[in-house]
Amino acid sequence: MKVRSLLQQLIVFVIFTGVFPAFGIVIPSSTTAGAISDINYYLAPYDTVKNGVNLNGVVLVGFGGGTFCSGALISPTQVLTAAHCFGSSPTVNFIDSSNNLLPIVASSFEIDPDFSGFPSSADLAIINLSSVAPSFATIYRLFTGIYTNGATITIAGFGYSGNGDTGATTGGGTRMVGENSYDTNGTFDGLGPTLRVGDFDNGNAANNAIPGSGLGLPDEVDISHGDSGGPSFYNGQLIGIHNFIDCVGTGSCSSPPSVQATGAPNSYYGELFGDTSVDANATWIQSVITPEPSTWLLCCGALALQAMAVRRRAKRHDSR
């Protein structure tokens, strides 16, 4: 069975490389100079806007049995998320005006055909909803421009939380948002040039995982368990889908740059995060996206006008 094979690939890769799928937003610690350590600052309830992006289209994707990821609405009936999340058909949950979860079950889903097991530069899936998303939900445009490493991105998701000193320690299910930047691509960690990679800084050069990158933003965050499939935004557009967390090199985390001396990556300061590039995979995404109803109306209207013109020409021809 294909799903079982993908899950087996995921388990084997995690054991032998130390790279972990991104399952939550981990916030700065109060020990970091200039950090905003109040967790309430990062909460993203209904109608939250961050850097010009309304987050009502950032969704919780549930797979049953407590397993969940995050995702982003890209058409009235479709959600973009991570392929490595899948083990069963999901339910997509929007946050309504009462800050309750509004579920819509999936009718089907499609995995990027270039996805070959976790991690992958094509770690993407599109969920087809069984009904149209609520009218308040934001539909995000895909980024297709030029991104300069170090520019601020907006990161959102429903994953576990904690802070950079302790790593992810609390359960997920609450939408959160913060900032970071991409500093390099996946070749830095041996994972391919079309992945976008950044690090989680605390202002200490010893914990700066990517040489030459900045030492952190005041509200810099990292992704963690439960954020897989969640979005990153740049200039108001969807630029990346959360893929993995990792340390420099493979195997156990080392110190420095990670503040954790041993063990698996858990979104500590000095660790890496990776996003699947939306623009690098735009051809497949756009081939699957269902046009908005207004687009269909325009197309149908144009076809109707064309048909009428043909009939008029035929009548003129017959009258001669």
Q: Using one digit for the tens of pLDDT, what is the confidence trace for 303-314?
A: 444 545 444 444
Q: What is the percentage of the chain residues whose pLDDT exceeds 90? A: 65
Nearest CA to 198 among 206, 190, 189?
189
- pTM of the predicted structure, to 2 decimals: 0.84
Query: 250 pLDDT band (50/70/90 cuts)?
Result: low
Task: Write the DSSP assignment of 48-94 as a string of letters.
Answer: -EETTEEGGGEEEEE-STT-EEEEEEEETTEEEE-GGG-SS--EEEE
What's the pLDDT tens digit per position in 91-148?
999 999 999 999 999 999 999 999 988 778 999 999 999 999 999 999 999 998 999 9
At 172, which amino acid appears? G
Contact 236, 203 (CB under 8 A): no
Instruction: Quote the strand ranges of 67-175, DSSP E.
Output: 68-75, 78-81, 91-95, 101-111, 125-129, 152-157, 161-163, 167-170
**Which one is the CATH code of 2-288: 3.40.718.10, 3.40.190.10, 3.20.20.100, 2.40.10.10?**
2.40.10.10
DSSP state of 254: -
- Whole-angstrom Cα distance, residue 49 to residue 54? 4
The predicted structure's pLDDT at residue 42: 95
User: Which has the minimum average pLDDT: 15-19, 181-185, 236-240, 299-303?
Assistant: 15-19
For the chain, the structural domain boundaries read 2-288, 292-320
The residues that bridge with 101 in the sheet, in sequence order, are 95
Sort residue 247 into left (φ over 0), alpha (ψ -120 to 50) or beta: beta
Q: What is the percentage of the chain residues whose pLDDT exceeds 70? A: 82
Q: Is the pLDDT of residue 300 over 50?
A: no
Query: 23 pLDDT band (50/70/90 cuts)?
Result: very low
What's the pLDDT tens digit per position in 159-176?
999 999 999 988 889 999
Q: Is the pLDDT of residue 24 over 70?
A: no
Q: What is the dihedral of CA 80, 27, 95, 60, to 10 degrees?
A: 40
Q: How many other β-carbons are positioned within 10 Å of the β-carbon of residue 92? A: 25
